[in-house]
Amino acid sequence: MKHSTPARVATYAYVNPVVAVFLGWLILGEPVTSRTLVASAVIVTAVAIITVQKNRAPAR
């Protein structure tokens, strides 16, 4: 927690399953469907938006 904010650390919990799916495909040859790819893209995009919005100063 010394190196990042609690909000940013919490977003990693959302990205971990995406990494696990990718590693399952890469190492174990598990199937990845288009539905999985779309869901992964939505998750990564949402985390990116949260991270960027937290860094912006509030508009007045």
Pairwise CA distance, residues 56 & 12, whole Å = 19
CB atoms within 10 A of CB 54: 11
Question: For the whole model, what pTM was predicted?
Answer: 0.72
Q: Which sequence spans correspond to the domains of the chain?
A: 6-55
Instruction: Look up residue 58 and give its DSSP letter.
Output: P
- Residue 43's closest CA among 22, 60, 26? 22
Say what the pLDDT of residue 20 is. Answer: 94
Structure token digits, residue 12? 């990693």
pLDDT top residue among 1 and 5: 5
Q: What's the half-sphere exposure (Cβ side, CA atoms, 13 Å) at 37?
A: 5
How confident is the model over 11-37, as pLDDT tens digits? 888 889 999 999 999 999 999 999 999
pLDDT top residue among 26 and 2: 26
